[in-house]
Amino acid sequence: METYQQAFIELLVRHEVLRFGEFTLKSGRRSPYFVNAGQFRTGAAISGLGRAYAACMRRAGLACDLVFGPSYKGVPLAVATVIALAEQGEDTPFCFDRKEKKEHGEGGWFVGTTPQDGMRVIIVDDVITSGKSIHESIDLLRRTADVQIAGVVVAVDRQERGTGTRTTLAELRDDLGVPVQSIVTIREVATHLHGRTIAGQQLVDDTRFAAIAAHLAEYGPRD
């Protein structure tokens, strides 16, 4: 793994974004871990988060004119990412959507820079489970302007299969015809944390490592 990926995993642990136990996901599946980006609640946490997204974009060679974060959890992701990009000399606009269209004042669906024709847009989100929120975001962006979706970046790829035999991320990549990147995968997370003590905690012992492997064996890709 790259240095930024290792730092990101440790950031997930220190701010309890990544938790282990028994969780029921929106999809109804039971999972031995859960990722909650809402736990990034301090300046240092958000700063580290933005650097990880920006590093992932650089590594993947993703250039853009606008960073979009789906409300609500995508809002701080977009802001943190463009701050990190600005620190590297790239002053990139951002925006996020309102849950309801504003009919007064400046109006519209967006806060920040409104998408314009020809813009290359990167969508940032926390995790991909079904891909539904990404499709909804793209529909909204394309109803607003003739934009180019330059890529999608998420924090953690759960590596679970979608409607077919491949992972949701792989299906989404082919469906959209655009790069879909994750900062880390759950296998990378489990491998990095297995037997390691961070902030006085050993979160992934042999039992938890086996539970994650079993989960992936049941819900992971079949090809």
List the one residue out of 125, 123, 160, 158 whose CA is nearest residue 142: 123
Half-sphere exposure of 75 (CA within 13 A, CB side): 11
Q: Within 10 Å of residue 3's Cβ, how many Cβ atoms?
A: 8
Strand order in the sheet with 108-112: 108-112, 94-102, 66-69, 120-128, 148-157, 180-185
- Residue 75 sits at the vertex; the CA angle it makes with 166 and 185, to the nearest 5 degrees, is 30
Phi-psi region of 30 (alpha: psi -120 to 50; beta: other; left: phi over 0): beta
- On whether the CB atoms of residues 115 and 130 are closer than 8 A, the answer is no
Of 101, 102, 132, 135, catalytic:
102
Structure tokens at 14: 């220190």
Of 104, 132, 194, 215, catalytic:
104
Identify the three-state secondary structure at position 47: helix
Active site residue 104: yes
Catalytically active residues, by annotation = 102, 104
